[in-house]
C-alpha cells in the first residue's frame, strides 16, 4: 500500500513545515457523554500521592513511541525516527556519538547506534541546531539550540562537563540569538568557543561565560582551523580572520557577488589551506568552489550536480573526509525525485557519484542535513528520517534508528474503541499507526502526514491527509484518494480536516473557506459551505463542530480570525476576540453548542479564551501561564465544572482546574517539548499527547470528581 501512496507523493517535495504547525483535527468522536453523577472517593490513577495538593498535580506520563517507525518507505521499508540536524562523534571512541535532533533534544549512543539515550529532556528548549565535543576533553559537550534552516527558536547555548549527564546554560537566546548553525571549540585553546547562527558570529574567550558579537547578520556556516576563522554570512559571502578574530575581511577572489543565499564551507583537516564552499541561490546551487590558498582565490567546479535543489535553504551539507584533501561529501534531497541525495567526489569536485543507495546494501532517507566522521573513518549522516552510519565509504548504509524517539507529530488520532491504537501525522515520515501495544509503529502512508481520524462507527475505516489537504480514505487494505475540488484555494501546509462528532460520514476540510462532504465513506462529494471571509484573509488552521448540532461550526485561521456558523443554510458571523493570534485549537462543549474554548499561538497576552455565547463575548482564561508559553493544542475535560483545561505548549502540557486562573505544568515525566496535538478520552480518563519532536506520550488522568469535591481546599 505504501507504494500506491507514494505515487501521489513523489511529485510533491517534502518541504519542512516550521514548528508551530499545531492545528487540531477534531475531538473525541461519537455521541456526547451523558451527565454522569460524580463518583467521590475513588483512587486517582496517574496521580503521585505525594503531590495531591492544590496546584501540584503531577502526572505519570509514559512514552508510546514511535521507537522506531517501521516499514518507512523512503528508508527502503526500514526504520525511521525523525529529523536529525547535527552529529558529533567522539574523537577517539568510534562507538560513542552525540546527535542533535531538530526538536527532540540531544541523544547519545555508546554502541554505534544500537541504543540511543535522550540527554536533554529537561532543558528549556528541545529545538536544536548544533552539537560539538571538545577534542581535548571529550567529556565536555556543547549544544547550540534553535534550528537555523527552519528558524525554530532555541534557548541559547548549553554545556555538559560529564559527557551529557548534566547541563548548564552558558548563555541564553538574548545573547546568542534564536538559532545555531555552527559551534566549534578552538583547536588551539579549548577555552575559546566559536558560534554562528541567526545573530551572526559570536566568540567566547572564557569557556562560554561571556560572549562577544563580532559579526552581525545571519551566518549559515563556520570553519575554524589553524589557518584562520571563516564565517559564511547568508546572502553576503565568506569573511576570514587570520588574526584570531581581531579583524575580518570579505573573500572575493572568484566567488559570486550577487544572488547569494545560504553558504556552506569546509576544509581539509590535513591541509587546511585546501577549502571548499557551496554558494546557494534560493534553493539551488549557485556554484561549488575550491581554494588552495586558504580562501584567497577560488576556482569553480562546474561538474558539480545541483545537489541542494529544490530545497537547499532547508537541507544541504558539504564536508571533506578526514585525512584527505579531495574526498568531498555533499548532501541534498533524494535522487528518485530530485537532483541528488548524498553525493561524493574523490577528486575535489571534478566528478561525482550518488551514494544515497549503498553500493552493496542499505539506503538513506531523503532530506539530508548533516554529515560527520568518526575517528576510524565511519560516516554518520543525519536527515529527516534520523541517523545512518557507513563503515565502508557508502558501500553499505546501516540504519541506526531502532531506539530513537524523535518523531515530529503534527496531529494524532486515537481509536475510540481501543485507546492503544493511535495514529500520528508526522513531518516527512508519513502517517504512522500503533495497532498493538508496542513502541514500533508501522508507516501506513508515506511523505508528510497531517490531520487524521478514525471512523467512530467503523474504526477499521480511517482518514488521513497529506500536505495542502490531500485526503485519503483507508478501509482495511483498500486505499482511495477523496480530495475535494479546492486546488486553487490557499491552504496551509498542514490543513485542517475534522469529522462531525454526530455523523461519521460527514467530514469538513479547511482552505480559506470550509468544505463539507456528507458521504465520506463512499463517493465523497465536496461542497463549500462558507465564503472566504472565514479565513480572515488567511487560511483556516482549526475547525470544530458541535456534537449537539451539526450546523453549529467554529473556524479559526492563521490570521487570528474566529467565525461561528449556524443554521440551515448556515449563516457565518465574525466572532474574533480582541487580542487573538494564530488559532491553534477550538473545543466545543459536547452538551452546549454555544460554549467554546479557543487557543492561540502567541507567547504573551491572550493564549486561551472562553465563550459561553457562541463567541459573541470572550473571557481571557490565560491566567498565570508564563510569558513565552504559546498554546499549540488544547483539550477540555468536561466532566468537571468548571471544566479542567489541558494546554499543549512549546514547554510541555499545562493544566488548569479553575477556569484558567491558575496553570500548572503536568510534570517532568513529559519532555519539555513542543506539542503538536492533544487527545482526551473522557470515558477512559486518558490524555494522549502528540509531541513535535519526542513522539507520542500518554497519561491516565485523575478521577474528575476530585475537581468537584473541594480539591485542595
Q: Please, what are the domains in the chain?
A: 2-33+44-66+405-708 (2.130.10.10), 218-354 (2.130.10.10)
Residue 54 predicted with pLDDT over 80: no
Residue 399 predicted with pLDDT over 80: yes
Q: What tens digit of pLDDT does each residue of 91-111 get?
A: 999 999 999 999 999 999 999
Q: So what's the pLDDT on residue 703? A: 67
Q: So what's the pLDDT on residue 647? A: 98
Query: At 16, phi and psi to the nearest 5?
Result: -80, 135
Q: So what's the pLDDT on residue 668? A: 85
Residue 29 predicted with pLDDT over 80: no
Give the dihedral sign, CA 494/20/633/105: positive
CA separation for the pair 158, 146 (Å, rounded): 12
CA separation for the pair 117, 440 (Å, rounded): 17
Query: At 229, phi and psi to the nearest 5?
Result: -115, 130
Q: What tens digit of pLDDT does each residue of 470-484 get?
A: 999 999 889 999 999
Cell of 511: 482552505
Q: What tens digit of pLDDT does each residue of 118-158 get?
A: 999 999 999 999 999 999 999 999 999 999 999 999 999 99
Q: Give the pLDDT mean for 326-346.
A: 98
Residue 511 predicted with pLDDT over 90: yes
Q: Give the pLDDT mean for 229-247.
A: 97
Residue 31 predicted with pLDDT over 80: no
Residues 6+ apart with CB under 8 A from 157: 142, 143, 144, 145, 169, 170, 171, 176, 180, 183, 195, 208
Strand partners, 637: 644
**DSSP helix/strand/coil, 149:** coil
Q: Give the pLDDT mean for 37-59.
A: 40
Q: So what's the pLDDT on residue 32? A: 27
Beta-carbon count within 10 A of 442 CB: 16
Cell of 371: 554529515
User: What's this model's pTM, rounded to 2 decimal places?
Assistant: 0.92
Q: What tens digit of pLDDT does each residue of 652-693 get?
A: 999 999 999 999 999 889 999 999 999 999 999 999 999 999
My answer on whether omega of the bond before 68 falls inside 30° of 0, hence cis, is: yes
Q: How far apart are the first and last CA of the chain?
A: 56
State the DSSP string of 497-512.
Answer: EEEETTEEEEEEEESS
CA separation for the pair 579, 564 (Å, rounded): 18
**Is the CB of residue 451 less than 8 Å from the CB of residue 483?**
no
Residue 707 or 690, more confident? 690
CA separation for the pair 472, 623 (Å, rounded): 40
17: pLDDT confidence band, cut at 50, 70 and 90? very low
Q: So what's the pLDDT on residue 704? A: 55
Q: So what's the pLDDT on residue 481? A: 97
Q: Give the pLDDT mean for 350-361.
A: 98
Q: So what's the pLDDT on residue 20? A: 35
Q: So what's the pLDDT on residue 30? A: 30
Give the dihedral sign, CA 341/105/660/699: positive
Q: So what's the pLDDT on residue 429? A: 97
Q: Please give the mean pLDDT across all residues of the chain.
A: 91
Contacts 24+ apart (CB under 8 A), 648-653: 648/22, 648/675, 648/676, 648/677, 648/678, 648/689, 649/625, 649/674, 649/675, 650/20, 650/674, 650/675, 651/124, 651/626, 653/678, 653/687, 653/689
Q: What tens digit of pLDDT does each residue of 409-456 get?
A: 999 999 999 999 999 999 999 999 998 889 999 999 999 999 999 999
Cell of 568: 440551515
Amino acid at each position: 500500500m505504501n507504494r500506491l501512496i507514494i505515487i501521489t507523493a513523489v511529485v510533491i517535495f517534502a518541504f519542512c513545515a516550521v514548528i508551530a504547525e499545531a492545528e487540531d483535527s477534531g475531538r473525541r468522536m461519537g455521541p456526547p457523554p451523558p451527565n454522569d453523577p460524580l463518583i467521590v472517593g475513588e483512587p486517582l490513577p496517574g496521580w503521585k500521592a505525594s503531590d495531591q495538593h492544590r496546584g501540584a498535580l503531577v502526572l505519570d506520563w509514559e512514552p508510546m513511541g514511535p521507537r522506531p517507525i517501521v516499514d518507512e518507505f523512503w528508508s527502503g521499508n526500514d526504520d525511521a525516527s525523525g529529523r536529525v540536524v547535527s552529529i558529533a562523534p567522539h574523537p577517539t571512541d568510534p562507538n560513542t556519538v552525540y546527535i542533535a535532533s531538530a526538536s527532540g533534544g540531544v541523544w547519545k549512543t555508546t554502541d554505534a547506534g544500537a541504543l540511543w539515550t535522550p540527554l536533554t529532556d529537561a532543558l528549556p528548549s528541545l529545538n536544536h541546531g548544533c552539537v560539538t565535543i571538545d577534542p581535548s576533553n571529550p567529556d565536555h559537550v556543547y549544544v547550540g539550540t534553535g534550528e537555523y534552516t527552519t528558524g525554530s527558536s532555541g534557548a541559547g547555548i548549553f554545556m555538559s562537563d560529564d559527557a551529557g549527564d548534566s547541563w548548564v546554560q552558558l548563555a541564553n537566546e538574548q545573547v546568542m540569538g534564536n538559532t545555531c548553525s555552527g559551534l566549534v571549540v578552538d583547536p588551539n585553546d579549548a577555552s575559546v568557543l566559536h558560534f554562528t547562527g541567526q545573530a551572526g558570529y559570536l566568540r567566547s574567550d572564557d569557556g562560554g561565560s561571556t560572549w562577544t558579537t563580532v559579526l552581525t547578520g545571519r551566518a549559515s556556516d563556520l570553519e575554524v582551523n589553524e589557518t584562520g576563522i571563516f564565517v559564511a554570512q547568508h546572502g553576503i559571502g565568506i569573511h576570514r580572520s587570520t588574526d584570531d578574530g581581531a579583524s575580518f575581511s570579505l573573500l572575493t577572489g572568484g566567488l559570486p557577488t550577487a544572488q547569494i543565499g545560504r553558504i556552506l564551507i569546509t576544509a581539509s583537516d590535513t591541509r587546511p589551506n585546501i577549502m571548499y564552499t557551496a554558494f546557494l541561490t534560493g534553493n539551488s546551487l549557485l556554484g561549488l568552489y575550491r581554494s588552495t590558498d586558504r580562501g584567497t582565490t577560488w576556482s569553480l567546479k562546474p561538474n558539480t550536480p545541483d545537489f541542494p535543489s529544490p530545497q537547499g535553504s532547508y537541507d544541504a551539507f558539504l564536508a571533506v573526509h578526514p585525512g584527505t584533501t579531495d574526498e568531498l561529501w555533499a548532501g541534498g534531497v533524494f535522487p528518485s525525485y530530485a537532483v541528488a541525495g548524498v553525493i561524493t567526489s574523490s577528486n575535489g569536485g571534478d566528478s561525482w557519484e550518488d551514494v544515497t543507495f549503498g553500493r552493496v546494501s542499505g539506503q538513506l532517507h531523503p532530506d539530508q542535513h548533516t554529515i560527520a566522521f568518526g575517528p576510524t573513518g565511519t560516516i554518520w549522516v543525519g536527515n529527516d528520517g534520523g541517523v545512518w552510519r557507513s563503515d565502508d565509504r557508502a558501500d553499505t548504509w546501516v540504519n541506526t534508528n531502532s531506539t530513537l524517539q524523535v518523531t515530529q507529530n503534527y496531529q494524532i488520532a486515537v481509536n475510540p474503541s481501543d485507546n492503544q491504537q493511535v495514529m500520528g501525522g508526522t513531518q516527512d515520515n508519513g502517517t504512522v499507526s500503533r495497532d498493538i501495544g508496542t513502541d514500533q509503529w508501522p508507516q501506513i502512508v508515506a511523505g508528510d502526514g497531517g490531520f487524521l481520524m478514525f471512523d467512530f462507527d467503523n474504526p477499521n475505516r480511517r482518514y488521513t491527509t497529506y500536505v495542502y489537504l490531500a485526503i485519503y480514505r483507508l478501509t482495511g487494505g483498500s486505499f482511495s484518494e477523496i480530495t475535494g475540488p479546492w486546488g486553487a484555494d490557499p491552504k496551509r501546509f498542514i490543513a485542517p480536516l475534522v469529522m462531525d462528532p454526530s455523523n461519521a460520514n460527514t467530514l469538513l476540510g479547511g482552505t480559506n473557506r470550509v468544505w463539507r462532504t456528507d458521504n465520506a465513506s463512499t463517493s465523497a462529494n465536496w461542497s463549500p459551505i462558507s465564503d472566504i471571509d472565514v479565513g480572515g484573509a488567511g487560511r483556516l488552521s482549526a475547525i470544530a463542530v458541535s456534537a449537539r448540532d451539526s450546523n453549529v461550526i467554529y473556524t479559526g485561521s492563521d490570521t487570528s480570525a474566529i467565525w461561528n456558523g449556524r443554521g440551515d443554510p448556515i449563516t457565518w458571523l465574525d466572532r474574533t476576540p480582541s487580542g487573538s493570534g494564530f488559532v491553534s485549537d477550538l473545543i466545543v462543549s459536547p452538551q452546549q453548542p454555544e460554549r467554546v474554548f479557543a487557543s492561540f499561538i502567541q507567547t504573551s497576552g491572550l493564549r486561551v479564551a472562553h465563550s459561553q455565547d457562541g463567541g459573541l463575548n470572550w473571557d481571557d482564561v490565560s491566567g498565570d501561564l508564563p510569558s513565552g508559553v504559546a498554546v499549540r493544542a488544547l483539550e477540555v475535560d468536561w466532566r468537571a465544572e468548571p471544566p479542567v483545561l489541558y494546554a499543549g505548549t512549546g514547554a510541555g502540557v499545562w493544566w488548569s482546574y479553575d477556569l484558567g486562573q491558575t496553570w500548572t505544568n503536568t510534570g517532568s515525566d513529559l519532555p519539555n517539548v513542543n506539542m503538536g496535538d492533544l487527545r482526551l478520552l473522557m470515558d477512559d480518563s486518558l490524555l494522549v499527547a502528540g509531541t513535535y519532536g519526542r513522539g507520542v506520550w500518554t497519561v491516565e488522568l485523575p478521577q474528575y470528581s476530585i475537581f468537584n469535591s473541594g480539591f485542595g481546599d
